[in-house]
Protein backbone atom coordinates (compact mmCIF):
# COMPACT_ATOMS: atom_id res chain seq x y z
CA UNK A 1 0.00 0.00 0.00
CA UNK A 2 2.86 2.36 0.67
CA UNK A 3 6.51 3.06 -0.04
CA UNK A 4 8.80 5.08 2.22
CA UNK A 5 11.76 6.94 0.79
CA UNK A 6 14.54 8.26 3.06
CA UNK A 7 16.15 11.60 2.38
CA UNK A 8 18.61 11.62 -0.50
CA UNK A 9 22.08 10.79 0.85
CA UNK A 10 25.48 11.67 -0.72
CA UNK A 11 27.70 8.75 -1.71
CA UNK A 12 30.78 10.22 0.00
CA UNK A 13 32.05 13.14 2.04
CA UNK A 14 33.45 14.69 -1.14
CA UNK A 15 30.09 14.34 -2.82
CA UNK A 16 28.39 15.89 0.21
CA UNK A 17 30.66 18.93 -0.01
CA UNK A 18 30.03 19.20 -3.72
CA UNK A 19 26.27 18.99 -3.23
CA UNK A 20 26.39 21.59 -0.43
CA UNK A 21 28.43 23.95 -2.57
CA UNK A 22 26.15 23.43 -5.53
CA UNK A 23 23.03 24.03 -3.48
CA UNK A 24 24.52 27.16 -1.93
CA UNK A 25 25.38 28.71 -5.28
CA UNK A 26 22.87 27.23 -7.70
CA UNK A 27 19.98 25.27 -6.22
CA UNK A 28 17.12 27.43 -5.00
CA UNK A 29 14.37 24.82 -5.05
CA UNK A 30 12.18 24.91 -1.96
CA UNK A 31 9.21 23.06 -0.60
CA UNK A 32 5.90 24.84 -0.15
CA UNK A 33 6.47 24.93 3.61
CA UNK A 34 9.99 26.34 3.27
CA UNK A 35 8.83 29.14 0.97
CA UNK A 36 6.27 30.36 3.50
CA UNK A 37 8.38 29.75 6.60
CA UNK A 38 11.40 31.58 5.16
CA UNK A 39 9.27 34.55 4.13
CA UNK A 40 8.13 35.01 7.74
CA UNK A 41 11.48 34.76 9.53
CA UNK A 42 12.35 37.94 11.41
CA UNK A 43 15.58 36.47 12.79
CA UNK A 44 16.89 32.90 12.94
CA UNK A 45 19.41 31.45 15.38
CA UNK A 46 22.05 28.89 14.51
CA UNK A 47 20.07 26.42 16.64
CA UNK A 48 17.26 26.53 14.09
CA UNK A 49 14.96 28.58 16.32
CA UNK A 50 13.30 31.34 14.33
CA UNK A 51 11.29 34.38 15.33
CA UNK A 52 8.32 34.38 12.95
CA UNK A 53 5.91 37.15 12.03
CA UNK A 54 2.32 35.96 12.48
CA UNK A 55 -0.17 37.12 9.82
CA UNK A 56 -3.36 35.88 11.48
CA UNK A 57 -4.14 34.99 15.08
CA UNK A 58 -7.38 33.14 15.83
CA UNK A 59 -8.69 32.74 19.35
CA UNK A 60 -11.66 31.04 21.01
CA UNK A 61 -13.37 31.19 24.37
CA UNK A 62 -11.05 28.86 26.32
CA UNK A 63 -8.30 31.51 26.20
CA UNK A 64 -10.52 34.16 27.76
CA UNK A 65 -8.08 34.72 30.66
CA UNK A 66 -5.24 35.73 28.33
CA UNK A 67 -6.48 39.29 28.00
CA UNK A 68 -6.52 40.02 31.74
CA UNK A 69 -3.10 38.38 32.13
CA UNK A 70 -1.71 40.44 29.27
CA UNK A 71 -3.05 43.63 30.84
CA UNK A 72 -1.70 42.69 34.27
CA UNK A 73 1.75 42.27 32.71
CA UNK A 74 1.55 45.79 31.29
CA UNK A 75 1.18 44.74 27.66
CA UNK A 76 -1.37 45.51 24.97
CA UNK A 77 -2.45 43.69 21.81
CA UNK A 78 0.18 44.61 19.24
CA UNK A 79 -2.06 44.34 16.15
CA UNK A 80 -5.73 43.86 17.05
CA UNK A 81 -6.66 44.02 13.35
CA UNK A 82 -4.96 40.64 12.88
CA UNK A 83 -6.81 38.96 15.76
CA UNK A 84 -10.11 37.13 15.08
CA UNK A 85 -12.23 35.50 17.77
CA UNK A 86 -15.32 33.35 18.07
CA UNK A 87 -16.74 31.27 20.94
CA UNK A 88 -16.99 27.54 20.23
CA UNK A 89 -15.72 25.13 22.90
CA UNK A 90 -17.94 26.24 25.79
CA UNK A 91 -21.06 27.12 23.81
CA UNK A 92 -24.00 24.77 24.44
CA UNK A 93 -25.52 23.71 21.11
CA UNK A 94 -28.96 24.44 22.55
CA UNK A 95 -28.08 28.12 23.15
CA UNK A 96 -28.63 30.97 20.70
CA UNK A 97 -27.60 33.91 22.86
CA UNK A 98 -25.32 34.53 25.82
CA UNK A 99 -28.30 34.63 28.16
CA UNK A 100 -29.18 31.05 27.13
CA UNK A 101 -25.95 29.78 28.73
CA UNK A 102 -26.41 28.82 32.40
CA UNK A 103 -24.36 30.88 34.90
CA UNK A 104 -20.96 29.39 35.58
CA UNK A 105 -17.63 28.92 33.83
CA UNK A 106 -19.14 28.14 30.41
CA UNK A 107 -20.91 31.46 30.40
CA UNK A 108 -17.90 33.26 31.86
CA UNK A 109 -15.62 32.14 29.02
CA UNK A 110 -18.01 33.34 26.31
CA UNK A 111 -18.91 36.58 28.10
CA UNK A 112 -15.29 37.53 28.87
CA UNK A 113 -14.25 36.96 25.24
CA UNK A 114 -17.03 39.29 24.08
CA UNK A 115 -16.17 41.96 26.65
CA UNK A 116 -12.48 41.79 25.73
CA UNK A 117 -13.29 42.31 22.05
CA UNK A 118 -15.39 45.36 22.85
CA UNK A 119 -12.65 46.81 25.05
CA UNK A 120 -9.60 45.98 22.93
CA UNK A 121 -11.01 46.32 19.42
CA UNK A 122 -10.35 42.96 17.76
CA UNK A 123 -12.83 41.21 15.47
CA UNK A 124 -15.28 38.99 17.32
CA UNK A 125 -18.07 36.88 15.83
CA UNK A 126 -20.43 36.52 18.79
CA UNK A 127 -23.31 34.10 19.23
CA UNK A 128 -25.83 36.44 17.61
CA UNK A 129 -23.68 36.79 14.48
CA UNK A 130 -24.36 34.25 11.70
CA UNK A 131 -20.60 34.19 11.09
CA UNK A 132 -19.87 32.64 14.48
CA UNK A 133 -19.01 28.99 14.91
CA UNK A 134 -16.05 26.66 15.30
CA UNK A 135 -12.88 28.72 14.87
CA UNK A 136 -11.36 26.35 12.29
CA UNK A 137 -14.53 26.48 10.22
CA UNK A 138 -14.97 30.25 10.45
CA UNK A 139 -11.39 31.15 9.40
CA UNK A 140 -11.51 29.60 5.90
CA UNK A 141 -15.20 30.42 5.46
CA UNK A 142 -14.53 34.14 5.97
CA UNK A 143 -11.34 34.23 3.88
CA UNK A 144 -9.30 35.03 6.98
CA UNK A 145 -7.23 31.98 6.08
CA UNK A 146 -5.26 32.59 2.87
CA UNK A 147 -2.40 30.86 1.01
CA UNK A 148 1.08 31.94 2.00
CA UNK A 149 0.12 33.18 5.46
CA UNK A 150 1.46 32.19 8.87
CA UNK A 151 -1.54 31.50 11.12
CA UNK A 152 -1.79 30.35 14.74
CA UNK A 153 -4.47 29.58 17.29
CA UNK A 154 -4.50 28.21 20.81
CA UNK A 155 -5.92 24.92 19.62
CA UNK A 156 -4.14 21.81 18.36
CA UNK A 157 -6.34 21.43 15.27
CA UNK A 158 -5.17 24.73 13.82
CA UNK A 159 -3.44 22.56 11.23
CA UNK A 160 -6.84 22.62 9.47
CA UNK A 161 -5.96 25.90 7.75
CA UNK A 162 -3.05 24.28 5.95
CA UNK A 163 -5.58 23.00 3.41
CA UNK A 164 -5.54 26.52 1.97
CA UNK A 165 -1.77 26.56 1.45
CA UNK A 166 -1.24 28.33 4.75
CA UNK A 167 1.34 27.40 7.40
CA UNK A 168 -0.77 26.98 10.51
CA UNK A 169 -0.28 25.32 13.87
CA UNK A 170 -1.63 25.23 17.40
CA UNK A 171 0.06 27.07 20.26
CA UNK A 172 -0.07 27.00 24.07
CA UNK A 173 -1.40 29.60 26.50
CA UNK A 174 1.98 31.28 27.01
CA UNK A 175 2.50 31.45 23.25
CA UNK A 176 -0.98 32.95 22.81
CA UNK A 177 0.03 35.85 25.05
CA UNK A 178 3.36 36.23 23.21
CA UNK A 179 1.57 36.59 19.88
CA UNK A 180 -0.98 39.00 21.36
CA UNK A 181 1.80 41.22 22.68
CA UNK A 182 4.32 41.01 19.82
CA UNK A 183 2.62 39.53 16.71
CA UNK A 184 5.61 37.18 16.56
CA UNK A 185 6.48 33.74 17.85
CA UNK A 186 9.64 31.69 18.37
CA UNK A 187 9.53 28.31 16.66
CA UNK A 188 12.04 25.57 15.83
CA UNK A 189 12.35 24.95 12.10
CA UNK A 190 10.91 21.45 11.53
CA UNK A 191 11.97 18.77 9.09
CA UNK A 192 9.81 18.29 6.00
CA UNK A 193 7.79 15.27 4.94
CA UNK A 194 5.71 14.76 1.81
CA UNK A 195 2.89 12.22 1.82
CA UNK A 196 1.84 11.37 -1.72
CA UNK A 197 -1.60 9.84 -2.14
CA UNK A 198 -2.31 8.68 -5.69
CA UNK A 199 -5.13 6.80 -7.33
CA UNK A 200 -8.87 7.26 -7.73
CA UNK A 201 -10.86 6.94 -4.52
CA UNK A 202 -13.65 4.41 -4.50
CA UNK A 203 -17.32 5.31 -4.26
CA UNK A 204 -18.20 6.97 -0.96
CA UNK A 205 -14.59 7.30 0.22
CA UNK A 206 -14.05 10.66 1.91
CA UNK A 207 -11.21 12.83 3.14
CA UNK A 208 -11.80 11.34 6.61
CA UNK A 209 -11.10 7.86 5.30
CA UNK A 210 -7.94 9.13 3.59
CA UNK A 211 -6.46 10.72 6.71
CA UNK A 212 -7.38 7.75 8.91
CA UNK A 213 -5.59 5.49 6.42
CA UNK A 214 -2.53 7.76 6.51
CA UNK A 215 -2.40 7.84 10.32
CA UNK A 216 -2.95 4.10 10.50
CA UNK A 217 0.12 3.68 8.30
CA UNK A 218 2.58 6.16 9.83
CA UNK A 219 1.29 6.03 13.41
CA UNK A 220 0.50 8.78 15.89
CA UNK A 221 4.16 9.72 16.22
CA UNK A 222 5.08 9.27 12.57
CA UNK A 223 4.92 13.01 11.91
CA UNK A 224 6.69 14.16 15.07
CA UNK A 225 9.26 16.82 14.24
CA UNK A 226 7.99 17.23 10.67
CA UNK A 227 5.89 19.69 8.70
CA UNK A 228 3.78 17.47 6.44
CA UNK A 229 2.82 18.34 2.89
CA UNK A 230 0.02 16.27 1.33
CA UNK A 231 0.34 15.80 -2.42
CA UNK A 232 -0.59 13.42 -5.25
CA UNK A 233 -3.47 12.93 -7.65
CA UNK A 234 -5.87 11.84 -4.91
CA UNK A 235 -5.29 15.02 -2.91
CA UNK A 236 -5.57 17.26 -5.98
CA UNK A 237 -8.93 15.70 -6.84
CA UNK A 238 -10.41 16.40 -3.40
CA UNK A 239 -12.63 19.35 -2.59
CA UNK A 240 -11.29 22.09 -0.34
CA UNK A 241 -13.54 20.87 2.47
CA UNK A 242 -12.14 17.33 2.20
CA UNK A 243 -8.62 18.78 2.21
CA UNK A 244 -9.47 20.62 5.43
CA UNK A 245 -10.47 17.32 7.04
CA UNK A 246 -7.09 15.85 6.11
CA UNK A 247 -5.10 18.86 7.32
CA UNK A 248 -7.21 19.01 10.48
CA UNK A 249 -6.06 15.59 11.65
CA UNK A 250 -2.37 16.15 10.91
CA UNK A 251 -1.86 16.71 14.63
CA UNK A 252 -3.11 13.16 15.23
CA UNK A 253 -0.06 11.89 13.32
CA UNK A 254 2.28 13.82 15.63
CA UNK A 255 2.97 16.78 13.31
CA UNK A 256 1.81 20.27 14.25
CA UNK A 257 1.55 21.50 10.68
CA UNK A 258 0.00 19.96 7.57
CA UNK A 259 -0.23 21.80 4.28
CA UNK A 260 -1.60 21.36 0.75
CA UNK A 261 -0.44 23.44 -2.20
CA UNK A 262 -2.94 26.06 -3.38
CA UNK A 263 -4.40 25.45 -6.83
CA UNK A 264 -7.37 26.58 -8.93
CA UNK A 265 -9.77 24.89 -6.50
CA UNK A 266 -8.28 26.95 -3.67
CA UNK A 267 -8.53 30.17 -5.66
CA UNK A 268 -12.15 29.47 -6.66
CA UNK A 269 -13.04 28.70 -3.04
CA UNK A 270 -11.55 31.95 -1.75
CA UNK A 271 -12.89 34.28 -4.42
CA UNK A 272 -15.35 36.76 -2.94
CA UNK A 273 -14.83 35.70 0.67
CA UNK A 274 -15.28 38.69 3.04
CA UNK A 275 -11.66 38.94 4.20
CA UNK A 276 -10.05 37.84 0.94
CA UNK A 277 -8.31 40.54 -1.16
CA UNK A 278 -10.45 42.50 -3.62
CA UNK A 279 -9.84 44.09 -7.03
CA UNK A 280 -6.19 44.61 -8.02
CA UNK A 281 -5.06 43.17 -4.68
CA UNK A 282 -6.85 39.93 -5.53
CA UNK A 283 -5.00 39.64 -8.83
CA UNK A 284 -1.71 40.38 -7.08
CA UNK A 285 -2.45 37.78 -4.41
CA UNK A 286 -3.33 35.10 -6.99
CA UNK A 287 -0.06 35.69 -8.82
CA UNK A 288 1.83 35.17 -5.56
CA UNK A 289 -0.20 32.09 -4.59
CA UNK A 290 0.68 30.43 -7.89
CA UNK A 291 4.39 30.64 -6.98
CA UNK A 292 3.88 28.71 -3.72
CA UNK A 293 3.73 25.04 -4.81
CA UNK A 294 6.91 23.12 -4.08
CA UNK A 295 9.59 23.39 -6.74
CA UNK A 296 10.26 20.30 -8.85
CA UNK A 297 13.71 19.91 -7.35
CA UNK A 298 12.70 20.45 -3.74
CA UNK A 299 14.11 17.88 -1.31
CA UNK A 300 12.14 16.46 1.62
CA UNK A 301 13.58 14.78 4.67
CA UNK A 302 11.11 11.95 4.18
CA UNK A 303 8.56 10.87 1.59
CA UNK A 304 5.73 8.36 1.91
CA UNK A 305 3.42 7.04 -0.81
CA UNK A 306 -0.14 5.78 -0.22
CA UNK A 307 -2.39 3.98 -2.69
CA UNK A 308 -5.62 5.97 -2.64
CA UNK A 309 -7.52 3.34 -4.62
CA UNK A 310 -6.98 0.82 -1.80
CA UNK A 311 -8.65 2.96 0.89
CA UNK A 312 -11.96 1.65 2.28
CA UNK A 313 -14.61 3.29 4.46
CA UNK A 314 -12.70 3.30 7.74
CA UNK A 315 -13.53 2.88 11.44
CA UNK A 316 -11.22 3.33 14.42
CA UNK A 317 -11.40 0.67 17.14
CA UNK A 318 -8.99 1.78 19.90
CA UNK A 319 -8.07 4.90 21.87
CA UNK A 320 -5.82 6.37 19.21
CA UNK A 321 -6.59 7.44 15.62
CA UNK A 322 -3.84 5.06 14.44
CA UNK A 323 -5.97 2.08 15.41
CA UNK A 324 -8.22 1.94 12.37
CA UNK A 325 -9.47 -0.71 9.98
CA UNK A 326 -11.66 -0.92 6.87
CA UNK A 327 -15.37 -1.59 7.33
CA UNK A 328 -14.98 -5.13 5.95
CA UNK A 329 -12.11 -5.91 8.31
CA UNK A 330 -11.98 -7.37 11.81
CA UNK A 331 -10.62 -6.18 15.14
CA UNK A 332 -6.91 -7.09 15.06
CA UNK A 333 -5.27 -9.54 17.44
CA UNK A 334 -2.59 -7.94 19.66
CA UNK A 335 -0.73 -11.26 19.70
CA UNK A 336 0.18 -10.63 16.06
CA UNK A 337 1.92 -7.35 16.95
CA UNK A 338 5.71 -7.79 17.29
CA UNK A 339 6.32 -4.54 19.18
CA UNK A 340 5.73 -5.32 22.90
CA UNK A 341 4.85 -1.74 23.83
CA UNK A 342 2.30 -1.40 21.03
CA UNK A 343 0.97 -4.88 21.82
CA UNK A 344 0.36 -3.89 25.44
CA UNK A 345 -1.33 -0.66 24.30
CA UNK A 346 -3.60 -2.63 21.96
CA UNK A 347 -4.59 -5.01 24.76
CA UNK A 348 -5.41 -2.09 27.03
CA UNK A 349 -7.40 -0.34 24.29
CA UNK A 350 -9.46 -3.44 23.55
CA UNK A 351 -10.27 -3.85 27.24
CA UNK A 352 -11.37 -0.22 27.49
CA UNK A 353 -13.40 -0.41 24.28
CA UNK A 354 -14.93 -3.80 25.29
CA UNK A 355 -13.93 -5.38 21.98
CA UNK A 356 -12.61 -8.84 21.12
CA UNK A 357 -9.98 -9.65 18.48
CA UNK A 358 -11.47 -11.14 15.34
CA UNK A 359 -14.82 -9.34 15.73
CA UNK A 360 -16.09 -8.07 12.35
CA UNK A 361 -16.22 -4.28 12.37
CA UNK A 362 -19.63 -4.42 10.68
CA UNK A 363 -20.95 -6.33 13.69
CA UNK A 364 -20.17 -3.63 16.27
CA UNK A 365 -23.29 -1.86 17.54
CA UNK A 366 -23.37 1.77 18.70
CA UNK A 367 -25.37 3.64 21.34
CA UNK A 368 -25.02 7.19 20.00
CA UNK A 369 -23.95 9.06 16.86
CA UNK A 370 -22.32 12.50 16.63
CA UNK A 371 -21.97 14.39 13.34
CA UNK A 372 -20.01 17.63 13.72
CA UNK A 373 -16.67 19.08 14.98
CA UNK A 374 -13.97 21.13 13.23
CA UNK A 375 -13.14 17.97 11.28
CA UNK A 376 -16.53 17.26 9.68
CA UNK A 377 -19.18 19.94 10.16
CA UNK A 378 -19.05 21.77 6.83
CA UNK A 379 -21.83 21.81 4.24
CA UNK A 380 -20.23 19.00 2.21
CA UNK A 381 -20.14 16.83 5.35
CA UNK A 382 -23.77 17.53 6.13
CA UNK A 383 -24.81 16.74 2.56
CA UNK A 384 -23.01 13.39 2.74
CA UNK A 385 -24.77 12.50 5.99
CA UNK A 386 -28.15 13.66 4.68
CA UNK A 387 -27.77 11.50 1.57
CA UNK A 388 -27.63 8.42 3.79
CA UNK A 389 -30.31 9.64 6.22
CA UNK A 390 -32.86 10.63 3.56
CA UNK A 391 -35.97 8.46 3.72
CA UNK A 392 -34.63 6.44 6.67
CA UNK A 393 -35.09 6.53 10.45
CA UNK A 394 -32.37 6.44 13.09
CA UNK A 395 -32.41 3.67 15.67
CA UNK A 396 -30.00 5.37 18.11
CA UNK A 397 -29.89 8.99 19.39
CA UNK A 398 -28.06 11.15 16.85
CA UNK A 399 -26.76 14.70 17.16
CA UNK A 400 -26.02 16.86 14.09
CA UNK A 401 -24.13 20.09 14.75
CA UNK A 402 -23.16 22.51 11.93
CA UNK A 403 -19.77 24.22 12.07
CA UNK A 404 -21.01 27.80 11.78
CA UNK A 405 -24.14 29.91 11.66
CA UNK A 406 -23.70 30.39 7.91
CA UNK A 407 -23.43 26.64 7.33
CA UNK A 408 -26.56 26.15 9.43
CA UNK A 409 -28.46 28.65 7.30
CA UNK A 410 -27.22 27.08 4.07
CA UNK A 411 -28.15 23.59 5.25
CA UNK A 412 -31.61 24.81 6.16
CA UNK A 413 -32.01 26.52 2.78
CA UNK A 414 -31.18 23.18 1.13
CA UNK A 415 -33.60 21.30 3.36
CA UNK A 416 -30.92 19.21 5.03
CA UNK A 417 -32.24 20.04 8.48
CA UNK A 418 -35.63 18.58 7.53
CA UNK A 419 -33.99 15.38 6.30
CA UNK A 420 -32.19 15.06 9.62
CA UNK A 421 -35.20 15.81 11.81
CA UNK A 422 -37.52 13.60 9.75
CA UNK A 423 -35.01 10.81 10.27
CA UNK A 424 -35.23 11.40 14.04
CA UNK A 425 -31.90 13.21 14.42
CA UNK A 426 -31.38 16.32 16.57
CA UNK A 427 -30.45 19.50 14.65
CA UNK A 428 -28.49 21.90 16.85
CA UNK A 429 -26.78 25.31 16.96
CA UNK A 430 -23.08 25.67 15.94
CA UNK A 431 -20.29 24.73 18.34
CA UNK A 432 -17.67 22.13 19.21
CA UNK A 433 -20.35 20.06 20.92
CA UNK A 434 -19.60 16.44 21.77
CA UNK A 435 -16.09 16.56 20.31
CA UNK A 436 -14.82 18.08 23.57
CA UNK A 437 -17.76 17.32 25.87
CA UNK A 438 -17.38 20.43 28.04
CA UNK A 439 -20.54 22.18 26.88
CA UNK A 440 -23.33 19.85 27.91
CA UNK A 441 -23.10 17.41 24.97
CA UNK A 442 -21.55 14.24 26.42
CA UNK A 443 -21.76 10.48 26.35
CA UNK A 444 -22.75 8.49 29.41
CA UNK A 445 -20.16 6.09 30.91
CA UNK A 446 -19.80 3.00 28.75
CA UNK A 447 -21.69 4.42 25.77
CA UNK A 448 -20.26 3.66 22.33
CA UNK A 449 -20.39 6.46 19.76
CA UNK A 450 -19.83 6.67 16.02
CA UNK A 451 -18.30 10.15 15.79
CA UNK A 452 -17.06 12.40 12.99
CA UNK A 453 -14.69 14.17 15.39
CA UNK A 454 -10.90 13.87 15.44
CA UNK A 455 -9.96 12.11 18.67
CA UNK A 456 -10.97 8.83 20.27
CA UNK A 457 -8.95 9.25 23.48
CA UNK A 458 -10.27 7.78 26.70
CA UNK A 459 -12.95 10.01 28.15
CA UNK A 460 -12.78 12.46 25.24
CA UNK A 461 -16.57 12.48 24.83
CA UNK A 462 -17.40 11.88 28.46
CA UNK A 463 -16.15 9.79 31.38
CA UNK A 464 -15.59 6.16 30.33
CA UNK A 465 -16.99 6.91 26.87
CA UNK A 466 -16.05 4.79 23.84
CA UNK A 467 -15.45 6.68 20.62
CA UNK A 468 -15.09 5.36 17.07
CA UNK A 469 -13.99 7.87 14.42
CA UNK A 470 -15.74 7.70 11.06
CA UNK A 471 -16.77 9.86 8.11
CA UNK A 472 -20.12 11.72 8.08
CA UNK A 473 -21.69 9.17 5.71
CA UNK A 474 -20.46 6.28 7.87
CA UNK A 475 -21.81 8.00 10.98
CA UNK A 476 -25.23 8.42 9.36
CA UNK A 477 -25.20 4.77 8.29
CA UNK A 478 -24.47 3.72 11.89
CA UNK A 479 -27.35 5.91 13.03
CA UNK A 480 -29.93 4.29 10.78
CA UNK A 481 -28.64 0.72 11.23
CA UNK A 482 -27.49 0.85 14.84
CA UNK A 483 -24.13 -0.66 13.88
CA UNK A 484 -21.21 0.10 11.63
CA UNK A 485 -22.19 -0.56 8.02
CA UNK A 486 -20.59 -0.28 4.61
CA UNK A 487 -22.10 2.86 3.09
CA UNK A 488 -21.60 1.33 -0.33
CA UNK A 489 -24.33 -1.17 0.55
CA UNK A 490 -26.70 1.72 1.26
CA UNK A 491 -26.37 3.23 -2.21
Does the pLDDT at position 13 exceed 50? no
Return the percentage of the chain with pLDDT > 70, whole number.
Answer: 94
Name the burial class of residue 485, with classes exposed (0-12), middle (13-18) and buried (19+) by CB atoms within 10 angstroms of its CB.
Answer: buried
In a domain, 125, yes or no: yes
Same domain membership, residue 138 and residue 48: yes
Rg of the Cα trace of the chain?
Answer: 22
Structural domains counted in the chain: 2
pLDDT digits over 54-95, tens only? Answer: 999 999 999 999 999 999 999 999 999 999 999 999 999 999
Kindly report the number of other CB atoms within 10 A of residue 77's CB atom: 22
In a domain, 21, yes or no: no
Residue 101's domain comprises 27-312
pLDDT of 27: 53
Does the pLDDT at position 6 exceed 70? no
Same domain membership, residue 371 and residue 302: no
Per-residue confidence band for 335, with pLDDT thresholds at 50, 70 and 90? very high
pLDDT digits over 356-398, tens only? Answer: 999 999 999 999 999 999 999 999 999 999 999 999 999 999 9
pLDDT of 28: 83
Query: Measuring CA to CA, which residue among 490, 463, 476 is closest to residue 369?
Result: 476
In a domain, 198, yes or no: yes
In a domain, 20, yes or no: no
What does the alpha-carbon distance between residue 296 and residue 459 come to, in Å, rounded to a whole number? Answer: 45
In a domain, 384, yes or no: yes
The whole-chain average pLDDT of the chain stands at 94
Same domain membership, residue 307 and residue 321: no
In a domain, 6, yes or no: no
Same domain membership, residue 483 and residue 414: yes
- Residue 54, domain CATH: 3.30.499.10
pLDDT digits over 120-136, tens only? Answer: 999 999 999 999 999 99
Same domain membership, residue 268 and residue 369: no
b (16+ CB within 10 A) / e for 188-203: ebbebbbbbbbeebee
Same domain membership, residue 359 and residue 213: no
Per-residue confidence band for 4, with pLDDT thresholds at 50, 70 and 90? very low
What does the alpha-carbon distance between residue 255 and residue 120 come to, in Å, rounded to a whole number? Answer: 33
Same domain membership, residue 367 and residue 307: no
Domain C-terminal end among 258, 291, 312: 312
Amino acid sequence: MSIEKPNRQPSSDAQALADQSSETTVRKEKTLFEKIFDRHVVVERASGDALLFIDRHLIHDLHFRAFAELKAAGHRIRQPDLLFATPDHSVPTTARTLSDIPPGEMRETVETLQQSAEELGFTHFDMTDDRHGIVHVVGPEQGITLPGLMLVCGDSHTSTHGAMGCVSFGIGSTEVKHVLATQTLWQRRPKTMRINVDGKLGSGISGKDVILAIISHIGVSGGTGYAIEYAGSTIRALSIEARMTISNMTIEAGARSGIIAPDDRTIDYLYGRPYAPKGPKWEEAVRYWKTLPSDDGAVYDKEISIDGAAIEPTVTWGNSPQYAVGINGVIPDPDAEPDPLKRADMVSALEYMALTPGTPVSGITVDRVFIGSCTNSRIEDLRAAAEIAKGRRVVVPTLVVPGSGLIKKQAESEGLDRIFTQAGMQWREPGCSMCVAINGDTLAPGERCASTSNRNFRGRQGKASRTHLVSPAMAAAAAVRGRFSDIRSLG
